[in-house]
Structure 1
Amino acid sequence: MGSEGSSGPVVVPRNFRLLEELERGEKGIGDGTVSYGMDDADDIYMRSWTGTIIGPPNTVHEGRIYQLKLFCDTDYPDKPPTVRFQTRINMTCVNQETGLVEPSLFPMLGKWEREHTMEDILSSLKREMSTPQNRRLYQPHEGNEDQRVEQKGLSLRCAVM
């Protein structure tokens, strides 16, 4: 007899959901080794986000700071965001060429549920770094440092000329 619309969980609209996530991200999460925020405060669709993960102790990732881009299209949170490592990393669920976290290899994205958040994704990726298949994988040199070295080299060459 009851209408189907009145039963079941309340669906939080996308913008409210993203505002909640923004507030949590700005406050800082847990032990502070995972954080995220919006890239452009003027983007009314709140699509582009940057996440940071500090590598877990007792792994090859320890002490490294990983930057990620999360793109929440207009179908988020019904569909997962696109997640891409900006910092070079060797992990079983990350495409080495593009830095893309592959949904087929990362269950949280592959079996996405609306309740999942960007915080959940980042925390889960951090846990993934500690798994037996990832904790000892050889890691590429941190990309940012390589770029800084090149820039220093350029400025030295310019000074010599």
Structure 2
Amino acid sequence: MASEGSRVVVPRSFRLLEELERGEKGIGDGTVSYGMDDAEDIYMRSWTGTIIGPPNSVHEGRIYQLKLFCDKDYPEKPPTVRFQSQINMTCINQETGVVEPSLFPMLANWQREYTMEDILTCLKKEMSAPQNRKLHQPTEGNDDERMEQKDFVARCAIL
């Protein structure tokens, strides 16, 4: 029998399967969604997320695409989160689209219990925060289609 203070640590693969199932069912009002980027990825590392911008902000009605990468140490450590769509927010590196952990409290103070859903929901809330709500945004539909590192390397090798 386990003592009262102990907790069960769910293995990484089970945790990711739970998140996948939840993501496929849909989240809340449908303005945040996520799923696997590559169904053949047996390690479940590469994920895609979508956020529809919140009302009463410059993000209202915009659709933002993100990539989340869960390395082998997830959920002990947070995933890497990168916007594919151009967006202007105080916690995002404007050149790479990466959500900077030092500027985004959820990633900076990561806890094993947090999920990709929590990250996306928190990013949506951050869009409505006073420091981001009225920031000038790139022209809608101007996704910069930031290249994945592997795509960049492959393209350089071909050239």
2:25 partner letter: K
Identity rate, percent: 80
Question: Aligned match of 1:79 in 77, 80, 86?
Answer: 77
In structure 2, how many angstroms separate the alpha carbons of the residues matched to 1:95 and 1:119?
Answer: 21
Bigger Cα Rg: 1
**TM-score normalised by length of structure 2:** 0.86
In structure 1, how many angstroms separate the alpha carbons of the residues matched to 2:144 and 2:65?
Answer: 15
**Deviation per residue, 1:43-74 (Å, 9 max, x gap):** 11000000000000000000000000000001
Q: Structure 1 unaligned segments of length 5 or more: list them.
A: 148-161
In structure 2, how many angstroms separate the alpha carbons of the residues matched to 1:18 and 1:142?
Answer: 32
In structure 2, how many angstroms separate the alpha carbons of the residues matched to 1:96 and 1:102?
Answer: 10
**Deviation per residue, 1:14-67 (Å, 9 max, x gap):** 000000000000000000000000011111100000000000000000000000
Quote the residue 2:23 is aligned against.
25
Aligned residues: CA RMSD:
1.9
Quote the residue 2:35 is aligned against.
37
Q: Structure 2 unaligned segments of length 5 or more: list them.
A: 146-159
- Figure out how many residues of one structure are paired with residues of the other and give that number: 145
Shift of 1:142: 3.2
In the alignment, is the contact (CA less than 8 A) between 2:53 and 2:63 conserved in 1? yes
**TM superposition outliers: structure 1 runs of 4+ over 4 Å:** 143-147
Quote the residue 1:60 is aligned against.
58
In the alignment, is the contact (CA less than 8 A) between 1:87 and 1:142 conserved in 2? no
